[in-house]
Structure 1
Amino acid sequence: MCDVTIPAQTLAAAATDPAAAAWTRIGHEAGADLLPWLARTCASFAIHDRETALALAGFTAVDASDEDRATYAGAIAALRELAVQGLPVASTDAIFVYLQQAILGFDGDDLWGHEPDHVNDGEVDVECPACDEGHLLDLTSDHSDIEPGLTSDLAVRLHTEAVQAGRHEVAATFTRLFGRFTCPECGVKSEVTASLAGVSA
């Protein structure tokens, strides 16, 4: 089936049932060499049944080496297309964000292949770039300490995708993730995304 350390019976169980417990093991152990299998398996599932597997595939792709990304470029492209197809009809707001994140992972974006799920968390840890003071910022409320904005082309893209899909709460949350905050300790204003604490890059 695939030259990986995950047992064939585990892969077989997962391939026949998108809700199988086997997916938990796959999620912990998947490496780049599993990408072709993930592409075939996701393609065999109904559009909503493949959502979680696509999110897993996005993490697998973004963590792959440049050499592995080149080796499995066809599988990554196929997975990306499936994620793009599923985005407008995602089953929940959270899944919508995970699919956006997966697409960025398939694109090889080392930072944003990990970070958009702050939108699902509803909060984000930041460190002031001036005084290094840490803050936990609320992304969900109009009364947040964040000044909303869209401070990059990527911000505009993710926000536009959310608006076009009718995901208005997600879109509003993106304006906070890509907004600015003023440090209450030293008064310096900075972009939230430039101040992310412990980013995955």
Structure 2
Amino acid sequence: MTDWSTLTDACGTAEHVPSLLDRFEADPNGVRSEVMDHLCPQLDTAFPASYEALPRLAQIASACGPEDLTSVLLAAGAIAACSPGLSEPDSPLTVYSAPIGVLHMLTDRHLRRAVEAGEYVDLLQSLLSFEGAEIWDRCLDGLHSGEYEVVCPHCGVNMFIVLGQDGYFCCTDDYALGEVEKSPLQPVRAQDLTGLPRRLFTRAVADGQEELAHGIPYLFGRTACPDCGTDFSVAERVVAGWTL
């Protein structure tokens, strides 16, 4: 039996967390923001009580209906994304591997039902977080928003990577304000994708997310800085920006 009074969340002692999770179970969509305020504020910080809540979140997810499941899976996914990697001693991903396995299975199933692209990307990131896939479990959202901000590896200028209805290009000025100098993105051929990029592409296609799938070869492709002409990997600059 967990002694919650010995654990902490974002507000101090976690003795109130069991009752908070009871309310979350009764109304996942209505209580999710409060749960996140206590267990994973700003979606980037977790606490001992956050990880201890994972078994209960797995139980809640297993019992709730499709209309509430997304809220539970995203809450658990945000917590898992904060965990040290599987290579770290006593990683919560290892300590709580059983409930995380349940959450992963439910997310995998629920992804196939997601229709809206934003929800799909959020769930896909949760799926990766339960697997311990660092970085990409937090920065796929640009595939939906259509934009990443990165820095040139040579001259240091800030750049926009644009993926979507406005085209597939790199620029250094706000492209929404008018004509700007653009460098086209050079996608990897779909058949040449390997590892995680190939898995993401194949999964998005299989789940009917064709627009998202179309952007993945560009995200893992190359382009050049419009200012200095330096060629670079788009994905490497996205990762570099996240790890700063």
Q: How does 1:73-152 map to 2 (within 5 A)?
A: 73-141=97-165, 143-145=167-169, 146-149=185-188, 152=194
Alignment partner of 1:199 is 2:199: no
Residue 79 of structure 1 deviates from its aligned partner by 0.4
Residue of structure 2 equivalent to 1:162: 204
Residue 74 of structure 1 deviates from its aligned partner by 0.5
Residue of structure 2 equivalent to 1:27: 36
**2:222 touches 2:233 (CA, 8 Å); kept in 1?**
yes
Give, in whole Å, the separation in 1 of the partners of 2:26 and 2:116. 23
Residue of structure 1 equivalent to 2:69: 50
The DSSP-based 3-state class of the residue aligned with 1:42 is helix
Residue 161 of structure 1 deviates from its aligned partner by 0.7
Give the gaps of 5 or more residues in structure 2: 8-13, 40-49, 170-184
RMSD: 2.1
Give the structure with higher Rg (CA).
2
Give, in whole Å, the separation in 2 of the partners of 1:110 and 1:13. 31
The residue type paired with residue 89 of structure 1 is: R
**1:101 touches 1:113 (CA, 8 Å); kept in 2?**
yes
**1:55 touches 1:98 (CA, 8 Å); kept in 2?**
yes
Give, in whole Å, the separation in 2 of the partners of 1:41 and 1:200. 33
Alignment partner of 1:183 is 2:225: yes
Residue 8 of structure 1 deviates from its aligned partner by 3.3
Give, in whole Å, the separation in 2 of the partners of 1:91 and 1:49. 15
Residue 200 of structure 1 deviates from its aligned partner by 5.0
**2:93 touches 2:130 (CA, 8 Å); kept in 1?**
no
**1:59 touches 1:113 (CA, 8 Å); kept in 2?**
no
The DSSP-based 3-state class of the residue aligned with 1:147 is coil
Give, in whole Å, the separation in 2 of the partners of 1:193 and 1:126. 10
**Structure 1 residues 96-149: Cα deviation after superposition (integer angstroms, max 9, x where no partner):** 111111111011112111111121221001112222221012111363212222
Residue 94 of structure 1 deviates from its aligned partner by 1.3
Give, in whole Å, the separation in 2 of the partners of 1:125 and 1:142. 15
Higher relative contact order (CA 8 A, sep 6+): 1
**1:48 touches 1:91 (CA, 8 Å); kept in 2?**
no
Alignment partner of 1:12 is 2:22: yes
Give, in whole Å, the separation in 2 of the partners of 1:108 and 1:69. 7
**Structure 1 residues 30-72: Cα deviation after superposition (integer angstroms, max 9, x where no partner):** 2211111111111111234211221221121121234222221
The DSSP-based 3-state class of the residue aligned with 1:126 is strand
Give, in whole Å, the separation in 2 of the partners of 1:181 and 1:169. 20
Residue 27 of structure 1 deviates from its aligned partner by 1.3
The residue type paired with residue 113 of structure 1 is: D
The residue type paired with residue 104 of structure 1 is: L
Q: Runs (4+) of structure 1 moved beyond 6 Å?
A: none
The DSSP-based 3-state class of the residue aligned with 2:242 is coil
**1:115 touches 1:200 (CA, 8 Å); kept in 2?**
no
